[in-house]
Structure 1
Amino acid sequence: MTSSALAAVLWDMDGTLVDTEPYWMAAEVPLVERFGGTWTHEQALGMVGLALEDSARLLQGAGVPWSADEIIAYLTDEVLRQLADTGVPFRPGARELLADLRAAGVKTALVTMSMRRMALSIVELIDFPAFDIVVAGDDVERPKPYPDPYLQAAAALGVDIADAVAIEDSPNGLRSAIASGAVSLGVPLMVPLEGVGAHALWPSLAGRTATDLRALHAAHAPAFPTETRVTR
């Protein structure tokens, strides 16, 4: 016996829905170099999936003398500027899967540690109503890898977290999804996800449909649904 049918799909944004990780890296390097520091590709990879406050602290450690809020605002502005120049770089199959979920009547949420203004800017560039709600980094007290962002999204959608699938591209994000009680799906991009504990790893979302996510949920959902939990 499984819990009820798939009720919602909860999407990470950077690296999962859209391939913006190179944009973040392109913003980080000149910022560190402006103050005489160096920023390696390995250091940039270490920031994938981190909350922006944690990323800001790492950049401060590399010599950037700004406050965390100043660093976050600068990086967000730089990524948005690049997106305005290039358009939204959807990951393969992501837009199509989103559209199929909407057509199938499955609720969707965007759960990102980027700032709300950036998340809404990307959502506005999608040419159909893609998400029921957005939970962003400045909407939660405890960021990923805490379960709070996913639990908050489920509560806002009015669904039990056990009836949701969460899609992530980073270890930090997967830890959040797993801790929340959602069925967790990893779709790696910049960093490997083996050994993190996802219920499934798919190499790509290309060709995937709502039917595939329903099957994934049915295979891994708990025997009995839990009460929808909210954070303190």
Structure 2
Amino acid sequence: MGDSVLTASVLLFDMDGTLVDSTASVERAWGRFAGRHGLEASAILAVAHGRPTIEVVAEFAPHGVDVVAETDRIEAEEIDRTDGISEIPGAAALLRGLDRDRWAVVTSATRALTVRRLAAVGIPLPKILVAADDVTKGKPHPQPYMLAAKALGFDAAEAVVFEDAPAGLTSAQAAGAATVVVGGYKGEAADGLPRIADFSSVTVSPNGSGMSVSLG
């Protein structure tokens, strides 16, 4: 799984599936959406992970459905229901040990939902958060990771990104960042990339003006 050592100036983390296991919550939310509109939930779930909710709603909602209102409803349901979500092992401890000026969270969730989920599982809130509200082009476009690196004062090519989903992996690589797969995704977007099961064996240590990231 690990045995790799990477060098970085900054570390950038996706949230859902990377820092927080929210799979059950997300699947329930899309299941309710599918049920309201007579859609096949499995088809939605096959492409929804890692993408902004509004984009997925726009793709699947029947003609005439208010996409913004439907997105707001899904968002409100997920903010209200944090049962069943948990920390990816080792994530909170790793982030607490990092310089807050050297890491960020980059997510396709909204800012409100991100803050709620991180707080619910005891993960420290980042100084820099790039959420769905902050971008004009979401993952798989490279903009989210480029914005996060820039906000920390670096180029994305100086970052190591931790991601679990094809949209995010594509976004990170397109931004020029070294990219690590978290979890079990084995599709094309993960080809040739280092991989970790979780953060329990990841260690970060100073290395000149940057960091050495050992994947265990």
- Where on the TM-score scale, by shorter chain, does this alignment land: which range? 0.7 to 0.9
Residue correspondence of structure 1 range 48-63 to structure 2 within 5 A = 48-60=49-61, 63=62
Q: Take 1:211 and 1:51, find their aligned partners in 2: how far apart are those partners? A: 33
From the superposition, tell whether residues 203 and 193 of structure 1 become closer, same or farther in structure 2 (CA, over 3 Å).
Answer: farther
Count of residue pairs the alignment pairs up: 205
Q: Take 1:50 and 1:151, find their aligned partners in 2: how far apart are those partners? A: 17
From the superposition, tell whether residues 198 and 156 of structure 1 become closer, same or farther in structure 2 (CA, over 3 Å).
Answer: farther
Aligned counterpart for 1:112 among listed residues 107, 110, 113: 107
Contact 2:44-2:60 within 8 A present in 1 as well: no
- Computed over aligned residues only, the root mean square deviation of the Cα atoms, in angstroms, reads 2.6
Q: What does residue 220 of structure 1 align with?
A: none
Q: Take 1:64 and 1:207, find their aligned partners in 2: how far apart are those partners? A: 48
Q: What does residue 209 of structure 1 align with?
A: 203
- Compute the displacement of 1:199 (Å): 3.6
- Compute the displacement of 1:118 (Å): 1.0
Q: Which moved more, 1:119-128 or 1:19-28?
A: 119-128
Aligned counterpart for 2:168 among listed residues 167, 173, 176: 173
Identity of aligned residues (%): 29
Q: Take 2:18 and 2:106, find their aligned partners in 1: how far apart are those partners? A: 11
Q: Take 1:159 and 1:126, find their aligned partners in 2: how far apart are those partners? A: 29
TM-score relative to the length of structure 1? 0.77
Q: What does residue 35 of structure 1 align with?
A: 37
After superposition, what is the alpha-carbon deviation per residue over 1:95-133, rounded to whole angstroms, capped at 9, x for unaligned?
12212324xx66110100111111222344465744121
Structure 1 position 91 matched with structure 2 position 92: no
Give 1 or 2: higher strand fraction.
2
Q: What does residue 230 of structure 1 align with?
A: none
TM-score relative to the length of structure 2? 0.82
Q: What does residue 147 of structure 2 align with?
A: 152
The answer for unaligned runs of 5 or more in structure 1 is 218-232
Q: Give the letter aligned to residue 95 of structure 1.
A: A
